[in-house]
Amino acid sequence: MSEPRIVKFEILRFRPEQDEEPVWVSYEVPCPEDFVVLDALNYIKDEIDPSLSYRWSCRMGVCGSCGMMVNGTPILTCNAFVRDYPDPIRVSPMANFPIVRDLVVELDSFMEKLTRVKPWIIRKVEKDPSLGEYLQTPEDLELFKQYSMCINCTLCYAACPVLAHDEDFAGPAAIALAYRYNLDSRDAGEAERFDVVNSGEGGIWACSYANECSEVCPKHVDPAQAIQRMKLTSAVQWLGVWPKRGAE
């Protein structure tokens, strides 16, 4: 077995009780071949500096909580193999979010934007439960399945150049989620989401189609595609050519 590679990690630290601004702090970590960046952070916390703060949970690319900037690119640190990066490796908190402490960011604005698009099935009329479930065909599911794979990791928000300058922009994940429900054959809420996603401040028209959101998405949701398709649908609806769809 080969000796672990000693890798220098530069971590952007912010401890509000002592730091006026974030500062870079260096650590040297022995990294076996199969180490990911999250393993290195855990080593730093367990063996070198227990005060380091960051989020993580599943270590399997499912929970979405360990997203950070690694050498300037947003990525799930449980999926970022140390062997793929040159020395030193720089780890910083997600861009476009306020820093709470070290690598932990404030997500309240993200959660508010998700709620704003009403990401749940809306019915005009609820049928009696005794009549059974709402059924879908495999073709119905296939229409929106891709956009339902989002794990709310916020990597797309950290990559978005629009959010870097316009904090009111609803953002890729929220708009893709709105599109997901608009495509759902059980849903009748497209009209209710129409004004939200078409608003002059924060709506789909703020998107410049840089495609950075889709490039970093770990689940291949392709939020950039969802936004552009929603632009097309909305433009046609504004012209009155294509009436809004709604389940009864």
Give pTM, 2 decimals.
0.91
Domains observed in the chain: 5-105 (3.10.20.30), 108-239 (1.10.1060.10)
How far apart CA 244 and CA 236 sit, in angstroms, is 10
In this prediction, residue 226 carries a pLDDT of: 96
Tokens standing for residue 226: 């969802």
In this prediction, residue 127 carries a pLDDT of: 86
Q: What is the pLDDT of residues 67-83, one digit of tens each?
A: 999 999 999 999 999 99
In this prediction, residue 118 carries a pLDDT of: 95
In this prediction, residue 91 carries a pLDDT of: 98
In this prediction, residue 245 carries a pLDDT of: 54
Give the Å distances, CA to CA, from 34 to 8, 41, 45, 82, 197: 16, 14, 19, 8, 43
Beta carbons of 180 and 147 less than 8 angstroms apart = yes
In this prediction, residue 243 carries a pLDDT of: 52
- Nearest to residue 27, comparing CAs of 104, 106, 103, 105? 103
In this prediction, residue 239 carries a pLDDT of: 75
In this prediction, residue 2 carries a pLDDT of: 76
In this prediction, residue 34 carries a pLDDT of: 95
Q: Containing H/E element for 11? A: strand 5-13
Beta carbons of 98 and 105 less than 8 angstroms apart = yes
Which segments of 155-213 are extended strands (E)?
none
How far apart CA 154 and CA 54 sit, in angstroms, is 15
Tokens standing for residue 69: 């900037």
Task: Find all residues with CB under 8 Å of 83, minimum gap 6, and list them.
Answer: 5, 31, 33, 35
User: What parts of the chain have a pLDDT lower than 50?
Assistant: 242
How far apart CA 212 and CA 148 sit, in angstroms, is 19
In this prediction, residue 247 carries a pLDDT of: 54
